[in-house]
Amino acid sequence: MKRAPSATVRREIIRACKRLDAKGLLAGAEGNVSARLAANRIAVTPAGRCKADLSVRELVETTLDGRPVSGLTSPSSELPMHLAVYRARPDVGAVVHAHPVAATGFAVAQNPLPQAALAEAAGVLGPVPLVPFRAPGSAGLGLVVAKALKGANVALLANHGAVAVGPTIDVALQRMESLEQAARIVVAARILGGERNLKTADLRALQRAWLAGA
Ligand SMILES: [Zn+2]
């Protein structure tokens, strides 16, 4: 896929950070966003900065093995997870990690998001693996997330949060928003007596649609 110019990608990262903050999918300095640039480099959000206040010049550029190329501050502590995903998925152009309340609720409860109840989840979002807990920022977290995302575009991180990937920032962001929306809908359904599953034939058709578009 042809990549957008680096300056455009950097602006898109900042826009994504502001949207994640405005929608309450993270709070303060939580979460991190990155995107591929040309020449096997990525731009990633810096450590410890409030996502709502971030500016383009604060983004950190690194190589795919994590060596800093430019940037005034340290990269996100979750850089190893982002790099592991880019190495495992050459098609991925952007990685979004956040702590959306309902989706993270499922992750904290270590309760998988049901796959057979919601058409959007089955046909658009696709599989939502629940990745076992590894310390935030560790190489071990990167390994389990990269492995889970070989067959999925979103994942729940046990006792931690959620991650979404896509060919572009916009697609990764939409997937994070859809993951949170699906989690909220399931919580609402459970308040109303619990979800009822789709018929098997309908579920299969939706899963085929996801595979065709994934
Ligand atoms: Zn996190």
> What is the per-residue pLDDT for 73?
83
Whole-number Å distance, alpha carbon 135 to ligand 1 midpoint, is 10
Partners of 70 in the β-ladder: 61
Instruction: Reply yes or no on whether the pLDDT at 81 is more than 90.
Output: yes
Model confidence at 1, pLDDT cuts 50, 70, 90, reads: low
Neighbours of 90 (CB within 10 A): 9
Q: Domain extents for the chain?
A: 6-213
State which H helix or E strand residue 8 sits in. Answer: helix 6-22
Average pLDDT over residues 116-122: 92
Average pLDDT over residues 147-162: 97
Whole-number Å distance, alpha carbon 198 to ligand 1 midpoint, is 32
Whole-number Å distance, alpha carbon 107 to ligand 1 midpoint, is 12
Instruction: Reply yes or no on whether the pLDDT at 66 is more than 80.
Output: yes
Whole-number Å distance, alpha carbon 142 to ligand 1 midpoint, is 12
Residue in this structure with the two tokens 């995302």, named with its chain if needed: 149
CA 97 to chain centroid: 5
Mean pLDDT of the chain: 94
pLDDT in tens, 121-146: 988 899 999 999 999 999 999 999 99
Topology of domain 6-213, CATH: L-fuculose-1-phosphate Aldolase (3.40.225)
Whole-number Å distance, alpha carbon 161 to ligand 1 midpoint, is 6
Model confidence at 71, pLDDT cuts 50, 70, 90, reads: low
The reported pTM is 0.95
Residue in this structure with the two tokens 């697609």, named with its chain if needed: 171
C-alpha–C-alpha distance, residues 203 and 187, integer Å: 20
> What is the per-residue pLDDT for 202?
94
Whole-number Å distance, alpha carbon 123 to ligand 1 midpoint, is 27
Model confidence at 2, pLDDT cuts 50, 70, 90, reads: low
pLDDT in tens, 162-174: 999 999 999 999 9
CB 61 within 8 A of CB 79: no
Whole-number Å distance, alpha carbon 209 to ligand 1 midpoint, is 31
